Chains A and B, each alone.
Chain A
């Protein structure tokens, strides 16, 4: 039975809880047992909040026994990426800098999770401050890909993707600045959504690049994903970049199919840099959409190749400023070796941050410096406008864009560790979406010759998550992967 519980979709589990076939405590126990069994080989969690999980589960059960009305997510066990602030529970961003940091407040999404009665199992591993694509940049531990333990789970939400793939959580929340939800979802063979910028409040998400960061769900099914995202949409007064979502119901049209939908395959997304097997798998998915009644055709995003360098300039610039607050003065790591104020700053930051974070801070500081601002930061913002315009043009004729998520399947552990540029190249397909603030979903569409999952990306217009889910649902049913 316990194996059955963890294999259930969120939707099925929710129904079992509602009909009292199962209790929230049983569900929590099933997952905690799985965590105990699998964590040694997966390493998805940085903190496991067993006691708190039991506590929440008991509360949900008590309410259920009294027949109080409960939200659909009540009693569902989930994991949270460790850059989302959790009141009273360490939130480390997988950094030595925040090793002992316990926020006195919840992120907006955590408030929603709590209000929904979600049972939090723990905090999930990630690349330090969400910078990286392998989760190897965590200060604390490596996370292994449940599909092949010798491989990385992707990143930066590697723990979030691995936990869901390894049945250590019914769903998880990750964050995506340049592909950090979608790429690990692809590497681990789960469904990950980066919603339209402004859909989910960023309040309490430790900022990496404020103009690009979005929180989103990772799940094992498309429907679960729609259900979770729907429950965390909010225009939050505390986040002035959050917006009222004009189409907030993702479930109503979920089963409508793709008949008549226009799906574009921009040729730049199928360039030689992408593994032929992946190109083939995505094209096969396109054919399947066509078979189901969609109109599929080629399109072009001419400025796509500039999105990657623009992304690294903008995200690093914002990060260099966002991460300045970690100075050892008020909270977090402080160097023991601090005879003067200047040394306190220098040594705290040199010792507290890992290599990748320091690389980005240096890059970001450089591109904002006097004399370089125009050539880098300003230029990158101009590229950003051009990329947005390209997408707008395509979307004037098409409803959705279909592309690969990453140029390759999951890397071997250590493969990219010494070569950051190669790692950055892996973000080619995902960053343009963040640059343009668009929603995009990553889901499995096949396997490579080594049996590793291949992900495809469905990109929609701003606030058309409903259409993305509609197409993804049709494909999931059709392909049965």
Chain B
């Protein structure tokens, strides 16, 4: 038996902090990074006699998330208590939603090599976050209640994801959609997006699902991919060596890329869910639904379709650009000023993505300048490596690229007679390479082209250099 005979089935539970100004059940601020225990009150501290009052914006944001992921919105839903003891949970219960979530039966689509795949979304519900435990050397464990009552939505996918790549694409798409709707910052490194992975394996062709494990503590999309890879291999190894998978919660250790057992099902809590008697059912009227729907901007998939149709971008390029709203917005501003949309998109994806190191930061180049750089490449005034250089310069110091090219003499050398003369010199200087080319080793041409590029200080027109060399070599 080998690992190829197994497949993995993955379901993702994603927690997303909503970007409301105040907490879900009280008026405390939700701002990230404040001094410990400065953003809490008797309500979110669970003091005796206090009562929760639902922040309506939380419901609105959650409904938007549902609408943006093609969910059905429950006309009536309720809030339930999830009971367990932990020092970061002041009331010893978390107010969540159990059997009547706000949103259910949705989906989103991911771009895969084999084409588009639809992943089902089982449900989206609202709940309150717990506090944070801070371990301080010499003082023991301290509780910070600032995060208690920060609003969350939990988005549960169907178990329809079958690889780490799909899981990453799902998270990227989900993140993009939520960013577009403006309901969250969706920052995994700050914890405003957290992901738990449920994974089981089975032999291909089997219908029955295997025993699953749940992985927690995944703080980046990359780590989700790594954890899945490790856990898949681990489970297959356990089964191959005659063992059984134990239903348990595992923690991913990013430092060494492994997962470790946290607690098994026997130690699992019985959460004793029951409807919270302090809170009335949540009703979503048709009018509210409609008004929230009208508030949702054009989403990534819709933009992607436009980019493919209108600008001729590949599905991959369109997906990559639209998965960051700031990138897509920038692309739209730039492309309208540019004659070469595909070149513009590719430049943005290569240089733009590289220089911004994948962050959501805005690109520090005026759209008109970026468009002009793309045009210079499109019109073959500069070659692509020069163009990359130009973008790098503009990134540091924004300016008109045409003026830059003129001032720095960056235009590519296209003059045929000049290139021919240069080709002859190069062949004379590297007779061995010329000889092996003539004997049929076409790879030798590359080194000659490289020498030509060196001579032109990288400004030669790559195609025309090749032509000039080939011609000279035939003589």
Contact = CB atoms under 8 A, between A and B. Distances in A.
A461 interface: no
A207 B92 contact: no
B83 interface: yes
B279 interface: yes
A204 B270 contact: no
B54 A103 contact: no
Nearest to B54: A240
A68 to B, nearest CB: 31
B307 interface: no
A380 to B, nearest CB: 11
A334 interface: no
Looking at B45, B48, B277, the one whose CB has the most chain A CB atoms below 10 A away is: B48
A241 B93 contact: no
A373 B270 CA distance: 11
Nearest to B86: A341
A240 B51 contact: yes
A373 B51 CA distance: 25
A105 B47 contact: yes
Given A206-B49, A324-B85, A345-B85, A369 B270 contact: yes
A101 B85 contact: no
Interface residues of B, number: 28
A329 B143 contact: yes
A459 interface: no
A300 interface: no
A240 B279 contact: yes
A239 B50 CA distance: 9
A330 B90 contact: yes
Interface string A368-387: 11100100010000000000
A329 to B, nearest CB: 5
A202 interface: yes
A325 B48 contact: yes
B274 interface: yes
Contacts, number: 95
Contacts of A239: 51
B53 A240 contact: yes
A203 B272 contact: no
B431 to A, nearest CB: 81
A369 B277 contact: no
A23 interface: no
Contacts of B81: 321
B295 interface: no
B459 interface: no
A365 interface: yes
B210 interface: no
A365 B273 CA distance: 11
Given A240-B280, A241-B280, A324-B83, A369 B143 contact: no
A327 interface: yes
A240 B278 CA distance: 7
Contacts of A101: 48
A105 B26 CA distance: 15
A47 to B, nearest CB: 16
A436 B85 CA distance: 32
Interface residues of A, number: 44
A202 B278 CA distance: 10
Interface in A334-363: 341, 345
A345 B83 CA distance: 14
A91 B270 CA distance: 32
A362 to B, nearest CB: 13
Nearest to A101: B48
B46 interface: yes
B47 A103 contact: yes
Interface string A206-217: 110111000000
Q: Interface of chain A, helix or strand or loop or mixed?
A: loop
B277 A203 contact: no
Interface in A135-157: none
Interface string B66-84: 0000000000000001010
A324 B87 contact: no
Contacts of B143: 329-330
Contact of A368 (B85, B272, B277): B272
A281 interface: no
B42 interface: yes
A373 B271 CA distance: 12
Interface string B274-289: 1001111000000000
Contacts of B90: 325, 329-330
A287 B115 CA distance: 84
Given A237-B53, A369-B270, A321 B83 contact: yes
B454 to A, nearest CB: 68
A210 B277 contact: yes
B183 to A, nearest CB: 23
Contact of A207 (B49, B53, B85, B279): B49
A210 B48 contact: no
A196 B283 CA distance: 24
Contact of B50 (A98, A203, A240, A326): A203
B212 interface: no
Nearest to A205: B49
Nearest to B43: A238
Contact of B274 (A98, A203, A240, A368): A368
B278 A203 contact: no
B48 A98 contact: yes
A57 interface: no
A39 B58 CA distance: 51
Nearest to A314: B277
Looking at A104, A202, A240, the one whose CB has the most chain B CB atoms below 10 A away is: A240
B19 interface: no
Interface in A231-264: 237-241
Contacts of A278: none
Interface in A86-104: 91, 93, 98, 101, 103-104
A368 B273 CA distance: 7
Nearest to A345: B85
Contacts of A44: none
B15 interface: no
Contacts of B274: 317, 321, 368, 373, 377
Given A204-B50, A210-B277, A240-B279, 9 more contacts: A91-B48, A105-B42, A207-B49, A238-B51, A238-B53, A240-B278, A318-B277, A324-B92, A330-B143
27 contacts: A85-B48, A91-B48, A103-B48, A103-B49, A104-B42, A104-B47, A105-B50, A204-B50, A207-B49, A207-B278, A238-B53, A240-B52, A240-B278, A241-B277, A318-B277, A320-B83, A320-B272, A321-B272, A321-B274, A324-B83, A325-B48, A325-B92, A341-B87, A368-B272, A368-B273, A369-B272, A373-B274
Interface of A: 83-85, 91, 93, 98, 101, 103-105, 107, 202-207, 209-211, 237-241, 317-318, 320-321, 324-327, 329-331, 341, 345, 365, 368-370, 373, 377
List of 4 A-B pairs having minimum Cβ-Cβ separation, nearest first: A324-B92, A211-B277, A368-B272, A210-B277
